[in-house]
Amino acid sequence: MQRYEVSASVRKGGEASAQAKRSEIRFDGSAQQDPELPGPAELLATAFAACALKNVERFSQILRFRYDTASIEVVAEREEPPPRIVSIRYMLRINTDEPPHRVDLLHLNIRKYGTVYNTLAAACQVEGEIVADNPVPRRTE
C-alpha cells in the first residue's frame, strides 16, 4: 500500500500552507474567500488536474504515445446544504500527431488508472473529454 503524507498549518487570520515532500503549497485558510490564494475546493480541482496530467506523461511512456504539450481545464461544482462537490467537468487538450483511436486509448487509461480521478469519481459525477489539437509534426524514426 502506498502512503501520501502532507502536513499543514494555519495562523489566525487564514494564512495557511501545506508541506508535501520538499514543496510548500500556500492556500486560503480564512473564513472568507481570499481573492489570490486557492481554497480547499480549488486545491481539490488542482489535484484532479495534476492527476490527469501526470498520467498523460506516465501513459505516454507505457503506450509510446507521442505528444508535445498537454493542458487541462477543470470545473468543480459545489452545492449545499450540505456543502459538497457534486460534479467535476474537464477538457484535456493534447498536442499530438497520434490517430484518434490512440488519443481515445490514452483517455481510457487516464480514467481507469488515475488515483485522484477514481477517488473523486466514486464521490461525485466526473465527466470530460480529450481533444487533440495543433498536432506536432510527424517524426520519422
Cα-based distances in Å from 60 to 5, 41, 68: 27, 29, 10
Q: Please report, for the chain, the start and end positions of each structural domain, with discontinuous segments joined by +.
A: 1-38, 39-141
DSSP string, 79-111: ETTTTEEEEEEEEEEE-----HHHHHHHHHHHH
- Residue 68 pLDDT more than 60? yes
pTM of the model: 0.92
Q: Which fold has domain 39-141?
A: GMP Synthetase; Chain A, domain 3 (3.30.300)
Write out pLDDT tens, residues 82-113: 999 999 999 999 999 999 999 999 999 999 99
pLDDT reported for residue 56: 98
Contacts of 80 (CB under 8 A, 6+ apart): none
Write out pLDDT tens, residues 3-38: 999 999 999 999 999 999 999 999 999 999 999 999
Under DSSP, the state recorded for 2 is -
Sign of CA dihedral 19, 24, 30, 35: negative
With cut-offs at 50, 70 and 90, classify the pLDDT of residue 136.
low
pLDDT reported for residue 138: 58
Residue in 76, 141, 65 with CA at minimum distance from that of residue 110: 65
Residue in 118, 121, 103, 4 with CA at minimum distance from that of residue 56: 103
